[in-house]
Amino acid sequence: MKNSNLFLISAPSGTGKSSLINSVLDRAHKSKFPLELSISYTTRKPRVGETDSNHYFFISPEEFARKKESNFFIEHAEVHGNWYGTSIEFVQSKLDNGISLILEIDVQGYRQIKSLALAYESIFILPPSIGALEERIKNRGDNDLASINLRLENAKKELICASEYSNMIINDSFEDASDTLYQIITQEKAIIEPNDKELEQFLAKLLSS
């Protein structure tokens, strides 16, 4: 295998994960660092502005079930009432071609990959506060109330799992969070210790609010 790595990134809805990942992909592209985002398969309907094969491969629940049966996915999970999965072939072909890959997956998917004999780095992105998280989920504008509440409940459940990851980043200052993520991915900086005291204390405070 070439010198490529797998980065598993999780964060609750409304943490600003996608913007952070996009800024890091942009930076990597400019500095010719071979890094891409894995495109998942989902049964979710496309949102306004989302296109097939670009944001996701949008497929029917029947097709998803067929792919699942044929072991097409390296991991798959039901998230917020829809199915999501990562193609084994997609991941393998990128890594074999020397391209590092970001998998933006939920905690269930992360745990599945963790149980495989694979090398990876894991990163959990934390919101600066529960209030900020609520605000962002509500302001997304593309969800009904039931969906907002479901995402909020799931977000709180996911936060409890943050310490299962080897790195945690607080998305308080976007620039700082983006810098840290970029440094972890390009290994410009030593990886943050999993039990970094300040982060653990911050997480405990977040969970008690």
| Helix/strand/coil (H/E/C) assignment for every residue in the chain | CCCCCEEEEECCCCCCHHHHHHHHHHHHHHCCCCEEECCCEECCCCCCCCCECCCEEECCHHHHHHHHHCCCEEEEEEECCEEEEEEHHHHHHHHHCCCEEEEECCHHHHHHHHCCCCCCEEEEEECCCHHHHHHHHHCCCCCCHHHHHHHHHHHHHHHCCHHHCCEEEECCCHHHHHHHHHHHHHCCCCCCCCCCHHHHHHHHHHHHC
Among 24, 79, 184, 185, binds ligand 5GP (CB under 6 A): 79
**In the bound complex, what is the minimum distance in angstroms from residue 32's beta carbon to ligand 5GP?**
27
**Is residue 87 a contact point for ligand 5GP (CB under 6 A)?**
no
**In the bound complex, what is the minimum distance in angstroms from residue 159's beta carbon to ligand 5GP?**
12
**In the bound complex, what is the minimum distance in angstroms from residue 107's beta carbon to ligand 5GP?**
8
Footprint (CB under 6 A) of ligand 5GP, residues 29-58: 40, 44
Nearer to ligand 5GP, 116 or 190 (CB): 116
Among 4, 5, 108, 186, binds ligand 5GP (CB under 6 A): 108
What is each CA distance from 173 to 70, 121, 161, 177, in whole angstroms?
Answer: 43, 22, 22, 6
Among 75, 159, 169, 181, binds ligand 5GP (CB under 6 A): 75
**In the bound complex, what is the minimum distance in angstroms from residue 41's beta carbon to ligand 5GP?**
7
From the list 98-106, 141-149, 190-198, 199-207, the region that binds ligand 5GP by CB under 6 A is: 98-106
**In the bound complex, what is the minimum distance in angstroms from residue 195's beta carbon to ligand 5GP?**
24
**Is residue 104 a contact point for ligand 5GP (CB under 6 A)?**
yes
**Is residue 86 a contact point for ligand 5GP (CB under 6 A)?**
yes
Q: Give the interface with ligand 5GP as residue ranges (CB under 6 A).
A: 13, 40, 44, 75, 77, 79-80, 84-86, 104-106, 108-109
